[in-house]
Structure 1
Amino acid sequence: MAPEAEPRQPPVDPRLWRYAAASRSFFLVIALLSLAQTAAIVGFAFFTTRAIVDAIAGDDLTGTLAALTGVVVARALLSLVRERVAARASARVESQLRGAVLDGIARLGPGWTATRSTSHLALVAGRGLDALEPYVGRYLPQLVQTVIATPLLIAAMWQADAISGLTVLLTLPLIPIFMILIGLATRSVQRRQWETLSRLATRFSETVQGLSTLTVFGRQRRAADAIERVTDDYRRETMTVLRVSFLSGFALEFLASISVAIVAVAVGFRLIDGSLTLSVGLFVLLLAPEAFLPIRQVGVQFHASSEGVAATRDVFAVLDAAAAASAPPAQAAAPAQGADHRLRLEGVRVRDLPPVDLEARSGEIVLVEGPSGAGKSSLLQALLGFASATGRIEFDGADAASRPPSTWLAWAGQRPGLASGTIAANISLGDDDMPAETIQQALALVGLADVDPYRMLGVQGAGLSGGQAQRVAVARALARHLRGHAPVLALDEPSAALDAAAEQHLWQSLRTVADAGALILLVSHRESARTIADRVVRLNSAEVTA
């Protein structure tokens, strides 16, 4: 089978503008600085030529040397300003992209990360984003400088001497042609180097995680040998990248030198025969190397930033996946509290468990029963996107995967998942504007009306009993529903740590909430849960019956 062609990557990926807002103003500032630098280059050539001609003629050089000094100082200051602007912009872009990548991974959830190599994701969020510094801070500014400076310098040469301007215009395209050819080779070898580094990170991570098992079975030496082989591959790929970079630099310098030499020889012959004045000839000769310099520097900076260029493909792949997952369809607005909602599961299978068919609507409590290992918790994890599943899950007639579960589903698992902080902060997690009345109402529904919402908890909710922590977790799900953010409640063994009285209070509250319009999926092994259920779905190892 023929290998799949690698998609062409533009010099500046437009997604950079979308995901890193700092890059937009950065391009504008760099463009203005490039204009000023180009003017300084032309001014330097002009005043240097004038100083030499005046010195030969024996004229006063005071004004010319003062102007030349001013141009040199301005050019140096502009270079310094550009370096600082590029350094700050690259740091801001890197920070924004890292935050976007980490936020995107969090939005995609465990179900997505379970299908990816965590070591590769760590490499992308770490080394990959660090490699963007030369790409954003050096390559992109030089690209802008080339686009602006090269046409202006050729125009200045053409204005002074049309023959020299035409010579540069005809010889200049040779450099981009060779840059494109070399760039294709560089991209290929750099991509292989990045993929080898990803394999090395993955292999090392997996070996460390399974080191105890490898040692027990005497396979640790084989794992070390495998890491050594991948390390050698990475070393070879790195040397290949360096070799291509050196050859590229030589080719670009050679072509630029030949082109400048052609201009110099032509100017020399014309100076001898008197068809060209000394001032024009010197001015053109000083500008000729400057006309080729920007495009040569693009090639140099491209190789210096090639790892960042390769990393952007994986960085933007994560961001695109997160954007696709979090973008709701046009009709998927926030669910209204009093609306009639429907949840439908058709042939939903998690791992090798039996498929589940289920339909429920607002106002119902559907009790899911079954022995341990039958897939009760796994079914809820599939709804949340925490576990990959086959089949179809629909909410209000649309594929539930088309929008984040947080927009329609509130969940309380078997583990409370509380964090250090106040009880109120744990309940309002993800909703900074939650009113205190909603928090108090949610606590009352779970039987904790007498608990201070601003009581401080330790790590993992330390300071509460097991039953209290479980009820706080249920209160968090109820509060999201009361706020109108989640018409569906998924509760996994919410009464496992409760006594009979607290359990009965919780059941009555859930029945009240369902009668008010909630759709509740309740996983419980308690027989008392049947008293509030509208329907019971029984899971077992062989079949599903409703």
Structure 2
Amino acid sequence: MRPLDPRLLRYATAARWFLFVGALLGLAQTLVVVAFAWLLSRVITLAIDGRPLEELTGSIAALAGVIVLRAVCVWLLDVAASRGAARVKTQLRARVLARLAERGPDFVAGRQGVRLATTVTSGLDALDNYFARYLPQLLLTALATPLIVVVMLVNDLASGITVIIVLPLIPVFMVLIGKATQAVQQNQWEALQRLGSGFLDVVGGLGTLKIFGRERRQFVRLRTITEDYRQRTMKVLRVSFLSGFVLELAASLSVALIAVSVGLRLVEGSLALSVGLFVLLLAPEAFLPIRQVGAQFHAAADGLAAAGEVFAILDEGESVDTGDVPTADAADPVDTTAAGLRLRSFTVRRDGRVVVDGLDAEFEAGQLTVISGPSGAGKSTLVAALLGFLPFEGDLSLGTRCILQGTSRSWLSWAGQRPGLLPGTVRDNVALGGTHIDPAVVAVSLAWAGLAELPHTSRLGVHGDGLSGGQAQRLAAARAIYRAQVHGCQVVVFDEPSSALDAEAELALLHGLRQLADQGRVVIVVSHRPHVVAAADRVLTMRESVHV
């Protein structure tokens, strides 16, 4: 675990801003510390010499001003850290969500959903401690410690050399303690992931467990995982407190060594009182930043661990921009009038294996085209490539326009095999994040999907709880129809939209898809159901050898 991962600067530009501002504030704070030590030693020396109060007034006022200035520098550094952490978390979340959307369902399916959710939410929230506590001390260590050591060398060579000799001992302790802390923290992170996964599994299968009378057995399992997490948490705290104690002890002994040397030379008369006081006041400040780096290391460990997982996701494949994916589609909108979709020598690989090999196909506007074929023939792979989730070779064009990889799919609307419904009203699920919902279009979309009787204001639970499997499937189809109508999508793809429907509901849905095609859109349905195939204007049959 590196103190400052270069990938943080690459993926979060706000981190660069914070380092620049933090460096300036750290330098200002260091100069203020030196001024404070010099003014305080001067005031004390003049007071011991018996100087009148009038002569001390200027130095005391300057000392008060320096104290206020130091407080302002500390406050500004805290503000910069808080704002920097918020911006970095926002940028990292935007990038990782864009990456997950870019890579598609296959990429997400290969990872634990709970682990991803924990990493992107509470995991990245732990970066607050990294920016608020750890990184400022790291900056001060790089700036303040060398500058203070130079000032000490100039004023008292012996004390400066002592600091130079003793100072490296603290990083040695930090490395040893850091390795132990990192191992314990990693175990803690894994325990948190297991706790989250176990809890989600229980919640997801609670209905099944209740039916078979096995729900109480999960109490023991969750109690065991929770107790393990509690013990690991206490172990992390114990290691953190002990590491802080060791570093404090090492720094205190180092300052004490300098204090003894200064005291002996003051008694000898070989060192002036003003210089001795100045050096003694600076000595703790020389050790303070590096001591705080070690003490705050554990506070940043969770955030660094989560950031490491985010970087691992972002490092896979080409990097994407946060929310500003460059698209020719946005600059040059697709003409939605009579634009057919054409594939030439279309080849798609999945897991290093060619699934779709040199496919030539045309999907005409105004027609209902059905893609059929046995399992494993590449139907879902073809759809994933059309959606931009898988890279492809060959040509993909819409009308007279070539569609390039990496561009947005603003011209396409899609309903997958899984409805993916969210808690909320039926209307909100149909609009799916739309800021301005058109009730008339919602009604038409539901009617074309065969759900005209479903109240728009009915509230759904998690995963569409409150609807049957067939209703959830048709609601997903209504969502795709709504997007096509509102955003003018020329191509609409349905992946097995009627697998959970009876014959009557299937015919109602097909009637709605026919009306969608009659608007001049390309309507593609992946299905092997006889009624769907019979209703098609054209059938594209795919086989495992991908001969069409």
TM-score category by the smaller chain?
Answer: 0.7 to 0.9
Structure 2 SS opposite 1:276 = coil
Matched, 1:383 2:385: yes
The partner residue of 1:69 within 53, 64, 82 is 64
Which residue is 1:258 aligned to?
A: 253
Which residue is 2:541 aligned to?
A: 537
The partner residue of 2:409 within 406, 410, 416 is 406
Compute the displacement of 1:523 (Å): 4.1
Which residue is 1:360 aligned to?
A: 360
The partner residue of 1:132 within 127, 132, 137 is 127
Write the mapping of 1:339-488 to structure 2, written as runs, cut at 5 A. Answer: 342-344=343-345, 359-361=359-361, 368=370, 370=372, 378-383=380-385, 394-396=393-395, 403=406, 406=409, 411=414, 420=427, 456-458=440-442, 461-462=445-446, 466=450, 473=480
CA contact (8 A) 1:186 1:303 kept: yes
Which residue is 1:14 aligned to?
A: 6
Deviations for 1:239-291, whole angstroms, at most 9, x for unmatched residues?
22122212211221121122112211211222222221111111111111111
Q: Distance in 2 between matches of 1:100 and 1:242?
A: 32
> Structure 1 residues 305 and 413 mapped into 2: Cα distance closer, same or farther (>3 Å)?
closer
Compute the displacement of 1:501 (Å): 9.3
Compute the displacement of 1:233 (Å): 2.2
Write the mapping of 1:158-237 to structure 2, written as runs, cut at 5 A. Answer: 158-237=153-232
Which residue is 1:439 aligned to?
A: none
Matched, 1:306 2:301: yes
Structure 2 SS opposite 1:396 = strand
Give the TM-score of the pair, scaled to structure 2.
0.73
The amino acid across from 2:41 in the alignment is T
Matched, 1:123 2:125: no
CA contact (8 A) 1:194 1:307 kept: yes
Matched, 1:35 2:27: yes
Compute the displacement of 1:339 (Å): 12
> Structure 1 residues 54 and 504 mapped into 2: Cα distance closer, same or farther (>3 Å)?
closer
Which residue is 1:517 aligned to?
A: none
Deviations for 1:495-526, whole angstroms, at most 9, x for unmatched residues?
9657999887876876xx88xxxxx8654655
Which residue is 2:38 aligned to?
A: 46
Compute the displacement of 1:363 (Å): 7.1
Structure 2 SS opposite 1:58 = coil
Q: Distance in 2 between matches of 1:75 and 1:381?
A: 61
Unmatched 5+ stretches in structure 2? 397-402, 453-474, 499-505
The partner residue of 1:154 within 149, 155, 177 is 149
Higher deviation after alignment, 259-268 or 316-325:
316-325
Which residue is 2:470 aligned to?
A: none
CA contact (8 A) 1:207 1:223 kept: yes
> Structure 1 residues 339 and 283 mapped into 2: Cα distance closer, same or farther (>3 Å)?
farther
The amino acid across from 1:11 in the alignment is P
Compute the displacement of 1:316 (Å): 2.5
Q: Distance in 1 between matches of 2:115 and 2:129?
A: 21
Higher deviation after alignment, 203-212 or 364-373:
364-373
Q: Distance in 2 between matches of 1:384 and 1:500?
A: 22
Write the mapping of 1:328-343 to structure 2, written as runs, cut at 5 A. Answer: 342-343=343-344
Higher deviation after alignment, 335-344 or 204-213:
335-344
Q: Distance in 1 between matches of 2:27 and 2:108?
A: 46
CA contact (8 A) 1:101 1:318 kept: yes
Compute the displacement of 1:357 (Å): 5.4
Which residue is 1:95 aligned to?
A: 90
Compute the displacement of 1:202 (Å): 0.4
Deviations for 1:515-540, whole angstroms, at most 9, x for unmatched residues?
xxxxx86546556666x54x74156x
Q: Distance in 2 between matches of 1:62 and 1:302?
A: 42
Which residue is 2:502 aligned to?
A: none
Higher deviation after alignment, 56-65 or 195-204:
56-65
The amino acid across from 1:226 in the alignment is R
> Structure 1 residues 529 and 307 mapped into 2: Cα distance closer, same or farther (>3 Å)?
same
CA contact (8 A) 1:158 1:165 kept: yes
Unmatched 5+ stretches in structure 1? 1-8, 433-452, 515-519
The amino acid across from 1:394 in the alignment is E
Deviations for 1:429-469, whole angstroms, at most 9, x for unmatched residues?
89x9xxxxxxxxxxxxxxxxxxxx96644589457674999
The amino acid across from 2:298 in the alignment is H
CA contact (8 A) 1:367 1:521 kept: yes
Compute the displacement of 1:386 (Å): 10
Which residue is 2:76 aligned to?
A: 81
The amino acid across from 1:148 in the alignment is L
CA contact (8 A) 2:38 2:278 kept: yes
> Structure 1 residues 69 and 117 mapped into 2: Cα distance closer, same or farther (>3 Å)?
same
Which residue is 1:270 aligned to?
A: 265
Give the TM-score of the pair, scaled to structure 1.
0.74
The amino acid across from 1:271 in the alignment is L
Q: Distance in 1 between matches of 2:240 and 2:68?
A: 33
The amino acid across from 1:537 in the alignment is T
Compute the displacement of 1:406 (Å): 3.0
Compute the displacement of 1:217 (Å): 3.8
Which residue is 1:4 aligned to?
A: none
Q: Distance in 2 between matches of 1:43 and 1:499?
A: 79
Q: Distance in 2 between matches of 1:349 and 1:283?
A: 69
Higher deviation after alignment, 15-24 or 304-313:
15-24
Compute the displacement of 1:199 (Å): 0.9
Compute the displacement of 1:367 (Å): 5.2
The amino acid across from 2:21 in the alignment is V
Compute the displacement of 1:65 (Å): 1.6
The amino acid across from 2:247 in the alignment is L
Structure 1 SS opposite 2:296 = helix
> Structure 1 residues 68 and 94 mapped into 2: Cα distance closer, same or farther (>3 Å)?
same
Structure 2 SS opposite 1:116 = coil
CA contact (8 A) 1:107 1:322 kept: no
Which residue is 2:105 aligned to?
A: 110
Q: Distance in 2 between matches of 1:287 and 1:502?
A: 80
Matched, 1:141 2:136: yes
> Structure 1 residues 43 and 276 mapped into 2: Cα distance closer, same or farther (>3 Å)?
same
Q: Distance in 2 between matches of 1:234 and 1:70?
A: 49
Which residue is 1:247 aligned to?
A: 242
Q: Distance in 1 between matches of 2:308 and 2:510?
A: 56
**Superposition CA RMSD, Å:** 4.7
The amino acid across from 1:241 in the alignment is V
Q: Distance in 1 between matches of 2:199 and 2:210?
A: 15
Structure 2 SS opposite 1:406 = coil
Compute the displacement of 1:106 (Å): 3.5
Higher deviation after alignment, 277-286 or 220-229:
220-229
The amino acid across from 2:359 in the alignment is E
Higher deviation after alignment, 225-234 or 103-112:
103-112
> Structure 1 residues 225 and 284 mapped into 2: Cα distance closer, same or farther (>3 Å)?
same
Deviations for 1:374-407, whole angstroms, at most 9, x for unmatched residues?
878645554357999xxx953439xx99747838
Higher deviation after alignment, 89-98 or 42-51:
89-98
CA contact (8 A) 1:125 1:315 kept: yes
